[in-house]
């Protein structure tokens, strides 16, 4: 299994670099965590974590995080509804 682990690590590093240049709002560590989480979820579900699929799913997740932030970048306590 070391070869498989090496392949996943190479894929994770490549995608982290690629997506970090696209999503500069996030730190490289956040992007790496997202990519690793996507790989782990795909493996857990029995899917083959190919480069294209992991990249597409990680990009979707990062995009949704960007779109879910309020325009000001912070949420005021009274706007949380609680």
Residues in the chain: 82
Tell me the per-residue pLDDT of 24-67, one tens digit each, with 9 for 90 and over.
Answer: 999 999 999 999 999 999 999 999 989 999 999 999 999 999 88
Q: 């240049």: which residue's tokens? A: 21
Q: What is the pTM of this model?
A: 0.74
Identify the DSSP state of 22.
Answer: H
* Alpha helices for the chain (secondary structure H): 2-22, 28-44, 51-68
The pLDDT, as a whole number, for residue 1 is 45
First-to-last alpha carbon distance for the chain, in angstroms, is 48
């Amino acid at each position: 299994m070391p070869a498989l682990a090496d392949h996943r690590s190479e894929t994770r590093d490549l995608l982290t670099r690629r997506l970090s240049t696209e999503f500069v709002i996030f730190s490289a560590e956040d992007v790496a965590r997202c990519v690793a989480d996507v790989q782990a979820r795909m493996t857990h579900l029995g899917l083959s974590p190919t480069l294209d699929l992991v990249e597409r799913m990680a990009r979707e997740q990062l995009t949704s995080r960007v779109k879910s932030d309020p325009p000001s970048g912070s949420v005021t306590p009274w706007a949380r509804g609680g």
